Amino acid sequence: QAVNASNGNGSEDVCMMQINSVHYPRLAALGVTREELLADRCVCLLVGGEILREMRAATGGRDIWSAVAAYNAGPENLDAGRPYADQVRRVYEAIHIIQGQ
């Protein structure tokens, strides 16, 4: 089970989409629990995709990499999230090279 509990602010990230615990209260209101995020990859992907969509809207619909930076550090902290977005981008580009796209 993917859990990163080493965030400097005391929060944790769970599942393959690294859903931060800051989202737990609003997810609970929708009936989604931490345990479900860890146990069900589909739920994890759906929640992560929705958060990314929200971050894209919050960054004014800018490029996807600004949304990824916001996904990591919040829309008010894009500069702090840029290293994370760059890392995700490198993996994304490597996958495309491997697949010949």
- Token pair recorded at residue 9: 């602010």
% of the chain surpassing 90 pLDDT: 81
Q: Which residues contact 44 (CB under 8 A, 6 or more apart)?
A: 14, 15, 16, 17, 19, 37, 38
Average pLDDT over residues 73-77: 94
Q: What tens digit of pLDDT does each residue of 1-28 get? A: 688 887 778 889 999 999 999 999 999 9
Torsion angle of C-alpha atoms 24, 27, 29, 30, degrees rounded to 10: -160
Give the pLDDT band of residue 101 (cuts 50, 70, 90).
Answer: low
